[in-house]
Amino acid sequence: MDNWFNLIPVLLILAASLAMLVFDEWQRSIVALAILYLGVFILLVQLVPLTLSAVKLITGWAAALILGLNLPKGESTTTEGLFSNRIFKALSLVLIWVLAFLVSKSISSSFQISPEIVFSALAIFGAGLLQLGMKFRPFSIILGILTVFAGFELLYASVETSVLINGLLSAMNLLIALIGSYFAGFNQIEERS
Amino acid sequence: MSAPLIWIVFPLLISVLLWFIQSRTKLVLVISLALCTLLALIALLQPIGGIVKIGPTSVELKTTLILLGRSFILENKDRFFLVFINFAAVFWFFGARISAAPTKFIPLSLAIISFLTAALAVEPFLYSAILVEIAVIISLPMLINPGEPIGKGMLRYFIYQSLAMPFILFAGWMLSGSQANPSNSSQMQFAALLLGLGFAFWLAVFPFHVWIPEMASEGHSYVTGFLLSCLPPVYLLIMLKYLNGLIWLKDAAFLAPTLQTVGIVMIVTGGVWAATQKDLKRLFGFAVIIESGFSLICISLQSQAGNQLFYLSLIPHMLSLGVFAYALASLKKHEIDPDLSNLNGLIRTYPVLFISIICSLFSIIGLPLFAGFSLNLGLFAQLTGNVSLIIWIFLGYAGLMLAAFRLLIVLIGYTGKKWAITESLGDLFFLVTGDFVLLLMGIFPSIFIGSIWKIFAPLLTIT
């Protein structure tokens, strides 16, 4: 790692994605998502102009806020709170990190981006995929898709600086959050049924 | 005035307006039907790039709209799509009210059509994936109904469609970079793999197909029918745009066999699963997969005849799926469970409804006298040198045919009830017209499909 300062955002991202996967309480997941966007912003600012990375941060936080304001009332089920369940999820995520670490160097050379940024992007992308695969609740799926897109945008921002495209990507994130808040009302119905 | 302003921005603005007045269903229906008919007719009659004369004033219809440094371009070759999608919208909106589709269906569908048109118009075309994703997000509220739980199929639809976007964007970026440096073959192959994955998510290629039958079995059948019949053709048109835009990919030796294999896999898996289905709604989902497989094989031919077959098949495919979806929505209206075990002898009570389902299934299979027959015949004529491929296609269609005949046997089972037409006038009008057109297309293909082609071919610059 050439820039040791990058260890801070990388650790922030890893901790946030771990928290999102392991904890089932919506509030904690939303806070973790906001922290993840902060970590992404610190890395992104090294690749693209400050204004563009600030747009991504603000959009991400706005998405987290929209979701936070409309949290589903139904809490996690008791089985998901089991310690072994959490250990399994954490180990799966560690496996994803190892995979991301192994491939990050070769990708970074072809993209000409520092390996820690590629590693973070892949780790976020992988964590999102894991979330989509392990938790099948509407709200978790929204979080999972937002996480996948956060990882993707971190990598894609280095190759795409078009205002329209970045604007559309931001609009897409906000739309997903709005859909998430729309889901929140229906989620309660599902819990009851 | 520019073409994208007319076919993208204007309908989008109208869709926002319609969203706020959605409770006034008649007004919304009239506005949407008038708008889409007008847009389709303009696309059909007015060349893009020419001068439009309205009384004493003349306005130039420009091809390009520049937005934040990127262009949206609609040219004369896009007129086929504009006519097709707007007439398709007229068809779907027409049945919305009588099929008791949710009030949000028309405003959101109009917005979806605008974004799908934008996806085909955006330049560089690599960005179309983002606009498609926005269209998918907009479609989600249509699929949820108050008082009903959020279905797994809808969630899977959202996941798979969303996962396609990163893969396609990255692949597009890598391929456009590789155009300048074609010597880096490993990077190009990797990009082609990513692109393939993205399209596999979009088109629900096995094993990513689970969401289609699940989504079809949930929610309002007419709404899911609209999405499942409109999205795959747009994805395939985007795929054609990629193939035409990326010369390396178009000339790649692996392209035709890959597309053919994927198409065959879709037809065979769709057919085999259709044969085992007891739920008519899920059967509809597998019919969609089979239709997409057929289109993929047409594209894989990489010839003028193949492209012609693909474009020609869009209209009968849309019509058969539309009739099928409408009939399924009517089943719900009459509180009939679409499971085979509950349909014994019901053709006597709802003859038009079930005959329509059978007609649309027969048309998708391509039985003689139905719209799909001449298209399937055309495809087989193109594949004469490849017998194994034809056998596989037959196997897939045999599965769907088995499902159709099993349904027919259940429906004609004797229950002692007398024959009676109990469908509403609206149902009768929509379904009988649909069946009639499907049959006419099948009985007189040269008159109907041929004349449609004569109108559309100049719009595509394929003769």
pLDDT tens for residues B308-324? 889 888 889 999 999 99
Q: Which residues contact B422 (CB under 8 A, 6 or more apart)?
A: B334, B349, B350
DSSP chain A: ---GGGHHHHHHHHHHHHHHHH---HHHHHHHHHHHHHHHHHHHTTTS-HHHHHHHHHHHHHHHHHHHHT--S----GGGG-HHHHHHHHHHHHHHHHHHHHHHHHHHHHHTS-HHHHHHHHHHHHHHHHHHHH--SHHHHHHHHHHHHHHHHHHHTTT---HHHHHHHHHHHHHHHHHHHHHHHHHHHHHH-
Q: What are phi and psi of B54, to 5 degrees?
A: -115, 100
Contact B150 A171 (CB under 8 A): no
Contact B144 A164 (CB under 8 A): no
* Cβ–Cβ under 8 Å, residues B233 and B319: no
Tell me: the pLDDT tens digits for B378-430? Answer: 888 888 888 888 999 999 999 999 999 999 999 988 777 888 888 888 889 99
Q: What is the predicted pLDDT for the residue at B49?
A: 81
Contact A186 B150 (CB under 8 A): yes
Q: Is B454 on the interface with A (CB under 8 A)?
A: no
Q: Which of B11, B31, B7, B8 is nearest to B96 (CA)?
A: B31
Tell me: the pLDDT tens digits for B233-280? Answer: 999 998 888 888 777 777 878 888 889 999 999 999 999 999 999 999
Segment holding B54, helix H or strand E: strand B51-54
* Cβ–Cβ under 8 Å, residues B290 and B397: yes
Domain boundaries, chain A: 4-192
Query: What are the Cα distances from residue B142, in Å, to A100, A153, A187, B397?
Result: 37, 28, 16, 31
Contact A141 B158 (CB under 8 A): yes
Q: What is the predicted pLDDT for the residue at A2?
A: 64
Mean pLDDT of B7-23: 94
Q: How confident is the model at residue B45 (pLDDT cuts 50, 70, 90)?
A: confident
Mean pLDDT of A118-138: 89
High-pLDDT (> 90) share of chain A, %? 37
Contact A172 B130 (CB under 8 A): yes
Q: What is the predicted pLDDT for the residue at A191?
A: 46
Of B70, B137, B158, the CB nearest to A172: B137
Q: What is the DSSP letter of B279?
A: B
Q: What is the predicted pLDDT for the residue at A112?
A: 76
Mean pLDDT of A50-77: 82
Tell me: the pLDDT tens digits for B335-363? Answer: 888 888 888 888 888 899 999 999 999 99
Q: What are phi and psi of B414, to 5 degrees?
A: -80, 125
Contact A163 B68 (CB under 8 A): yes
Q: How confident is the model at residue B294 (pLDDT cuts 50, 70, 90)?
A: very high
CA distance linking residue B296 with residue B306, whole number of Å: 10
* Cβ–Cβ under 8 Å, residues A127 and A100: no
Contact B155 A141 (CB under 8 A): yes
Q: What is the predicted pLDDT for the residue at A21?
A: 87
Contact A149 B152 (CB under 8 A): no
Each as own residue / partner, the long-range contacts of residues B171-174 (CB below 8 Å, 24 or more positions apart, any chain) are B171/B195, B171/B198, B172/B124, B172/B125, B172/B126, B172/B127, B172/B129, B172/B242, B173/A156, B173/A159, B173/A160, B173/B126
Closest chain B CA to residue A171? B134
A82 pLDDT above the threshold of 90: no
Q: Which of B264, B334, B320, B324 is nearest to B294 (CA)?
A: B264
Total domains in the fold of chain B: 1
Mean pLDDT, chain B, rounded, equals 88
Mutate to test the interface with B, among A124, A181, A183, A190 (most CBs of B within 10 A): A183
Contact B141 A172 (CB under 8 A): no
Of A159, A169, A193, the CB nearest to B130: A169
Q: Which of A25, A132, A40, A122 is nearest to A74 (CA)?
A: A25
Instruction: Give contacts of B159 with chain A, Cβ < 8 Å.
Output: 132, 141, 144-145
Residue B206 belongs to some domain of the structure? no
Q: How far off is chain A from B208, nearest CA to CA, in Å?
A: 13
Residue B14 belongs to some domain of the structure? yes
Q: What is the predicted pLDDT for the residue at A188?
A: 53
Q: What is the DSSP letter of B421?
A: -
What would the two tokens of residue B121 be? 């118009």
Burial of A49 (0-12, 13-18, 19+ CB in 10 A): exposed
Q: What is the predicted pLDDT for the residue at A189?
A: 47
Q: What are phi and psi of B146, to 5 degrees?
A: -55, 135
Instruction: Give contacts of A156 with chain B, Cβ < 8 Å.
Output: 166, 169-170, 173
DSSP B55-88: TTEEEE-BSEEEETTEEEE--GGGHHHHHHHHHH
CA distance linking residue A176 with residue B134, whole number of Å: 9
CA distance linking residue B115 with residue B8, whole number of Å: 7
Instruction: Give contacts of A152 with chain B, Cβ < 8 Å.
Output: 165-166, 169-170
Instruction: Give contacts of B73 with chain A, Cβ < 8 Å.
Output: none
B461 pLDDT above the threshold of 60: no
CA distance linking residue B143 with residue B151, whole number of Å: 9
Q: Which of B163, B165, B75 is nearest to B127 (CA)?
A: B165
Q: What is Dmax (Cα atoms) for chain A?
A: 54
Residue B110 belongs to some domain of the structure? yes
User: Greater confidence, B457 or B323?
Assistant: B323
Q: How confident is the model at residue A74 (pLDDT cuts 50, 70, 90)?
A: low
Instruction: Give contacts of B147 with chain A, Cβ < 8 Å.
Output: 189
Pairing of β B64-67 and β B57-60: unpaired
A192 pLDDT above the threshold of 70: no
CA distance linking residue B259 with residue B389, whole number of Å: 12
Mean pLDDT of A100-104: 89
A49 pLDDT above the threshold of 90: no
Show the domain range for B32.
1-123
Q: Which of B80, B99, B3 is nearest to B40 (CA)?
A: B80
Q: How far off is chain B from A35, nearest CA to CA, in Å?
A: 22
Tell me which residues of chain B, numbers 14 to 73, contact chain A at a CB-CB cutoff of 8 Å. Answer: 67-70
Instruction: Give contacts of B181 with chain A, Cβ < 8 Å.
Output: none
Q: How far off is chain A from B161, nearest CA to CA, in Å?
A: 11
What would the two tokens of residue B211 be? 């969401």
Residue B31 belongs to some domain of the structure? yes
Mean pLDDT of A133-154: 89
Mutate to test the interface with B, among A52, A152, A158, A168 (most CBs of B within 10 A): A168
What would the two tokens of residue B462 be? 């394929």
What would the two tokens of residue A130 be? 């894991």
Residue B75 belongs to some domain of the structure? yes
Closest chain A CA to residue B190? A107
SS3 for B422-454 is CCCHHHHHHHHHHHHHHHHHHHCHHHHHHHHHH
CA distance linking residue A83 with residue B233, whole number of Å: 47
Contact A149 B134 (CB under 8 A): no
User: Greater confidence, A72 or B303?
Assistant: B303
CA distance linking residue B191 with residue B128, whole number of Å: 17
Q: How far off is chain A from B288, nearest CA to CA, in Å?
A: 25
CA distance linking residue B21 with residue B12, whole number of Å: 15
Instruction: Give contacts of B165 with chain A, Cβ < 8 Å.
Output: 152
CA dihedral A83, A89, A93, A95 (to 10 degrees): 90
CA B238 to centroid of chain Cα atoms: 13
User: Other CB atoms closer than 10 Å to residue B133's CB: what's the count?
Assistant: 27
Number of CB pairs, chain A paired with chain B, less than 8 A apart: 78
Helix B425-443, helix B351-365: angle, nearest 10? 30
What number of residues does chain B have?
A: 463
Mean pLDDT highest for which of A94-108, A150-164, B29-43?
B29-43
Q: How far off is chain A from B463, nearest CA to CA, in Å?
A: 36
